[in-house]
Amino acid sequence: MRPKKGFTLIELLIVVAIIAILAAIAIPNFLEAQIRSKVSKAKADMRTATTGLESYFVDHNKYPNDVEAGWPWYFTVQLTTPISYLTSTNLLDPFRDTHVRTGHVYWRRYRYINYPANLDNWGGLGPSWIGWRPSVTESECLAGMRKYGMWKLSSAGPDRFISYDSEHGFFTNEMVYDPTNGTVSVGDIIRSQKDPDVRSQEYIDP
The domain tally of the chain equals 1
Q: Say if 197 falls within a structural domain.
A: no
Q: Say if 6 falls within a structural domain.
A: no
Q: Residue 7: which residues within 8 A CB-CB, separation 6 or more?
A: 15
Q: Say if 40 falls within a structural domain.
A: yes
First-to-last alpha carbon distance for the chain, in angstroms, is: 91
In the predicted structure, residue 1 carries a pLDDT above the cut 90: no
* Percentage of the residues of the chain whose pLDDT score is greater than 70: 78
Examine residue 82 and say whether the peptide bond preceding it is cis (omega within 30 degrees of 0): yes
Pairing between β-strand 189-192 and β-strand 151-155 as defined by DSSP bridges: antiparallel
Q: Rounded to the nearest 5 degrees, what angle is found at the Cα of 164, between the Cα atoms of 160 and 166?
A: 130
Q: Say if 206 falls within a structural domain.
A: no
Query: Helices (DSSP H) in 61-192: which residue ranges?
Result: 115-119, 138-148, 170-173
Q: Say if 205 falls within a structural domain.
A: no
Q: Say if 30 falls within a structural domain.
A: yes
pLDDT band at 124, cuts 50/70/90?
A: very low
Q: Residue 175: which residues within 8 A CB-CB, separation 6 or more?
A: 163, 164, 165, 186, 187, 188, 201
Q: Say if 102 falls within a structural domain.
A: yes
Segment 151-200, tens digit of pLDDT = 999 998 888 887 776 666 778 888 888 877 666 777 889 999 987 766 55
CA distances from 201 to 94, 163, 177, 188 (A): 23, 11, 10, 11
Segment 79-103, tens digit of pLDDT = 988 889 998 888 889 988 766 555 5
Beta bridge partners of 114: 151
CA distances from 40 to 33, 46, 93, 157 (A): 11, 10, 11, 11
Range of the domain at 183: 12-192
Q: Say if 97 falls within a structural domain.
A: yes
